[in-house]
Amino acid sequence: MARNLICSFIILAFLCVGTSTLAYVMSSTNYRIQSDSLNIGGLRQASTNYRMEDTIGEMATDESTSTNYKLVAGFMAKFPPYLSFTVSTDSLNLGTLSSSEVTIKNHTITTTTNAESGYTTNIKDDGNLRDGSNDIDNVADGVVTAGNEEYGVATSDSGVDIVTNSGNNASALSQSGQSIALNSEPVFDGEITTVYYKASISTNNTKAGSYSHIVTFTCTANF
């Protein structure tokens, strides 16, 4: 009797280990299984008037909440899609540009989403930093150099189109979107990306004036 009990316990333990191993994101070149579980049944059913997917045999399913969390447990449990995208300011003044140093200013963008494949944020502008027909040239060599008329942006993120911030390096903006922040996983606690703006002017060759342009960030959650 005792031996049977021990054997049952060991088998149960293996099943638990096996279940936890299976409940993991699996992917190959051709597929990605975001979540799975080991149950005793389940089926997609349909008729003229309805369609239903169900599972049978899951343990410890239900909704539970506390002050700090909300849990919806179970294979079929789904939270509604969520996206929050905030920019720390809607205006950024670089101040008076100088030919003797590179002006650098920054702001942050914060993204939270439960999208399974994370998010991608692109940046674009509505034209060069300009004052009427006069403009500040976009950086062309990847680095904003004091004394040269150059303007560009860098990001705290990596693996994106816009260069990762270091020193005075910068990427030129365009009216086509370029990625500036991304994550391939859900982001639940607000991922902060810092956007750096860098500019310098050429003595006497950059015309006096008040320059501006609009930079647009587009965040796409990948559900």
Binding site for another protein (CB under 8 A): 79-87, 89-97, 103, 107, 109, 129, 131, 134, 136, 197, 199, 201, 203-221, 223
Q: How far apart are CA 23 and CA 18, in angstroms?
A: 9
Tokens 């080991």: give the residue: 38
Judged by CB, which is closer to another protein: 75, or 211?
211
Cα 76 to Cα 155: distance, rounded to the nearest angstrom:
38
In whole angstroms, give the CA distance from residue 64 to residue 80.
16
Q: How far is the CB of 106 from another protein (least distance, A)?
A: 11
Q: Which is nearer to another protein, 38 or 124 (CB)?
A: 124
Closest contact distance (angstroms) between CB of 30 and another protein is 26
Q: Would you say 92 or 192 has its CB closer to another protein? A: 92
* CB of residue 2 to another protein, shortest distance in Å: 49
Shortest distance, CB of residue 22 to another protein, whole angstroms?
Answer: 29
83-87 and 178-183 as β-strands: parallel, antiparallel, unpaired? unpaired
Nearer to another protein, 75 or 200 (CB): 200
| Nearest in space to 181 (alpha carbons), one of 195, 201, 199 | 195
Report residue 6 as tokens: 């021990």
Angle (nearest 5°) at CA 182 between 177 and 185: 145
Helix or strand or coil: residue 14?
Answer: helix
- Min dist CB 31 to another protein, Å, is 23
Please identify, using beta-carbon distances, which residue of 38 and 85 lies nearer to another protein: 85
